[in-house]
Amino acid sequence: MTTQAIRAEQPLLSVQDLKIRIQMDNGEMRAVDGVDFEIKKGKTLGLVGESGCGKSLTSRAIISINPKECETSGTIIYRSEEEQTREELNLLSLDPNSKKIRSIRGRKIAMIFQEPMTAFSPMYTIGNQIMEAILIHRTKNKKEAKKIALEMLGKVGISDQEKRFDQYPHEFSGGMRQRAMISMALSCNPELLIADEPTTALDVTIQAQVLELMRSLQAEFGMAILLVTHDLGIIAQMCDEVAVMYLGKIVEQAPVKELFYNPKHPYTKGLLKSMPRLGGDKSKRLDSIEGSVPMPINMPPMCGFYERCSDRIEGVCNARSVPKTHISDDHMVRCFLYSDSREGDSI
């Protein structure tokens, strides 16, 4: 194998043993508890889970923009291929206010957010806010920056850019704002785009348009996407690989088809069952997962899904933390049902 080939196989981003802890009045909350995943160049990884499972914190930890209260540990290796130099950087080792991490934010790793109304400041024009990132990372020339910004607005399907450029966020519709947000994120041609619930606040029709737009831009720019969502439908449509998160841990990870056709973890199965299906029996109630998510504060070592699981093994699942089991090369599940050993994880 040539070095070129090795490099091609190395993932753009590797997250290893990411832990985020938050000190609360009643103890330490393990919001993210030992997460590992990789994002390959030009591919899309979906991070799916319900509210509060730590998926947003995980995605924001990559560029260190979580609030100060979050104690983050682990390694996040980012391999940039820019300018022939192969740079390998542990993003977590950088000071969150350092120049180095700021030169990566917005330039190499860009982010789009759930609520495009509040993610833009109402005080400045859309043009001003898009140009800002370009002026930091690409050019100091305002005219040139404006040209790039206008071009980007055109790319995301906003017509009449000259006029739109000088408008304020409240003069845009929800879908338009999210398009503008995408154009802002892509204005510096990033290698990785983190999309944190990019379509949650949008109408279903607009949702489809925005997803389609993201896909076509991915094809054009070749960036990788980390798509954070709670919507399995979007995952099926967009992703190459999926990681299912529950209570701060990734409980199952597999290529998208494998996960949908051959789910292993009881939680994944439950999620898939609770999705409405076309042509399904309308007289039947939609399945839902019993119980609710516990708070990850002062939890003993056990499976976080234990209380809600129909296949739980007493004395095993609630007695130790669950190790990873690799069902195949690319299918991982964290469940004792598939584990040969009944011994706990070393943590």
Partner 1 sequence: MLQYSIKRILMAIPVVIFISFIVFYIIQLPPGDYVSSYSAQMTATGEVMTQADMDQMRANLGLDRPVYEQYAMWAKKIVLHGDFGFSFNYNKPVLDVVKQYMGLTLVVSLVTMVFQYAVAIPIGIYTAVKQYSAGDYIFSGISFLGMATPNFLLAIILMFLSYTWFGDPLLGLFSNEFVNASWSIDKMIDLAKHMVIPVIVIGLASTADLIRVMRGQMLDELNKPNVVTARAKGLSEIRILFKYPTRAALNPIVSTFGWSLSSIFTGATITAIVLNLPIQGPVMYNALLGQDMFLAGSWLLFMALLTVLGTLISDILLAWLDPKIRTEFRGN
Please report whether residue 111 would count as binding partner 1 according to CB under 8 A.
Answer: yes
Interface residue with partner 1, options 19, 21, 30, 107 (CB under 8 A): 107
Are 210 and 199 in contact by the 8 Å Cβ rule? The answer is: yes
- CA–CA separation, 211 and 238 (whole Å): 8
Q: DSSP letter string over 229-242?
A: ES-HHHHHHH-SEE
Please report whether residue 184 would count as binding partner 1 according to CB under 8 A.
Answer: yes
Residue type, 312: R
Please report whether residue 179 would count as binding partner 1 according to CB under 8 A.
Answer: no
Interface residue with partner 1, options 73, 90, 93, 118 (CB under 8 A): 118
Identify which of residues 17 and 71 has a Cβ nearer to partner 1 in the complex: 71
Q: For the chain, how far is it from start to end, CA to CA, in angstroms?
A: 36
Segment (H or E) for 39: strand 27-39
Q: Which stretch binds partner 1 (CB under 8 A): 100-108, 139-147, 255-263, 322-330?
A: 100-108
Q: How far is the CB of 244 from partner 1 (least distance, A)?
A: 25
The DSSP output letter for 290 is: S
- The answer for residues whose C-beta is within 8 angstroms of residue 262's C-beta and 6 or more apart is 254, 331
For 176, other C-beta atoms within 10 Å of its C-beta total: 20
Please report whether residue 53 would count as binding partner 1 according to CB under 8 A.
Answer: no
How many residues in total does the chain contain?
A: 347
Interface residue with partner 1, options 32, 133, 259, 316 (CB under 8 A): 133
Q: Which stretch binds partner 1 (CB under 8 A): 123-131, 213-221, 250-258, 275-283?
A: 123-131
Identify which of residues 168 and 338 has a Cβ nearer to partner 1 in the complex: 168
Please report whether residue 51 would count as binding partner 1 according to CB under 8 A.
Answer: no
Segment (H or E) for 154: helix 142-155
Chain residues binding partner 1 by CB under 8 A are: 60, 63, 65, 97, 102-107, 110-111, 113, 115, 118-125, 132-133, 136-137, 168, 170-171, 184
